[in-house]
Chain A
Amino acid sequence: DAGVIQSPRHEVTEMGQEVTLRCKPISGHDYLFWYRQTMMRGLELLIYFNNNVPIDDSGMPEDRFSAKMPNASFSTLKIQPSEPRDSAVYFCASRGQGPYNEQFFGPGTRLTVL
């Protein structure tokens, strides 16, 4: 298995632009999580899905952030409009029915908003 796939790996954009981050979870996993990591706040859960349905989006910072999961193999996290304080590394993770409810993380997308 290729693991969790994220794209792009790096994104540099200007303030006000729309940014879309993409994630392909591990095949067969029914949970998908979006995290944000910064030096100041560490890893924070933004939103998670179960069977493509958003379950908890309480971590989404503002209405500028939105996430979708149109099918079991694809999810997007969109920021519109982007702001410099959104600069961070965004991770996607997926989880199946294995023991310990282990989450497997993707390589992350490093976002820089100028």
Chain B
Amino acid sequence: KNQVEQSPQSLIILEGKNCTLQCNYTVSPFSNLRWYKQDTGRGPVSLTIMTFSENTKSNGRYTATLDADTKQSSLHITASQLSDSASYICVVSALDSSYKLIFGSGTRLLVRP
């Protein structure tokens, strides 16, 4: 069964600190993996998208990694800001069904001053 699991479920960090969010998936055949940021009361917004051949991609202070062999991904946030407080959702799509996205349950991040 295609699944995406994220950890931790929630995380609290102090402003300026770094953090890493984890994503494990069992989707096969793999097409791509995305990290979305969802602010409270808003729709998800894409941060990074990686295909099988990409093992790292950055978007400002956000850096995503992908290990297609172990089927793991991480999202690293550097020098966190209060505006980083949001839910971060790992989403995977399969080659045979690129229109259907498989969503993780998300990590709720709270950055405190």
B-binding residues in A (CB < 8 A): 4, 31, 33, 42-45, 48, 50, 55-56, 91, 93, 95, 100-108, 110
Contact = CB atoms under 8 A, between A and B. Distances in A.
B51 A105 contact: no
Contacts of B113: none
Contact of A103 (B42, B101, B104): B101
A42 B4 CA distance: 12
Contacts, number: 48
Interface in B1-35: 32, 34
Q: How large is the interface on B (under 10, 10 to 19, 20 to 34, 35 or more residues)?
A: 20 to 34
A4 B43 contact: yes
Interface string B73-91: 0000000000000000100
A42 B91 CA distance: 12
B43 A91 contact: yes
Residue from the set A31, A95, A103 with the largest chain B CB neighbour count within 10 Å: A103
A48 B98 CA distance: 12
A105 B44 contact: yes
Contact of A48 (B93, B99, B103, B104): B99
Contacts of A106: 43
Interface string B93-110: 100001111011110000
A105 B103 contact: no
A105 B101 contact: no
A100 B100 contact: no
Contacts of B45: 105
A46 to B, nearest CB: 12
B49 interface: yes
A101 B96 CA distance: 13
Contacts of B105: 42
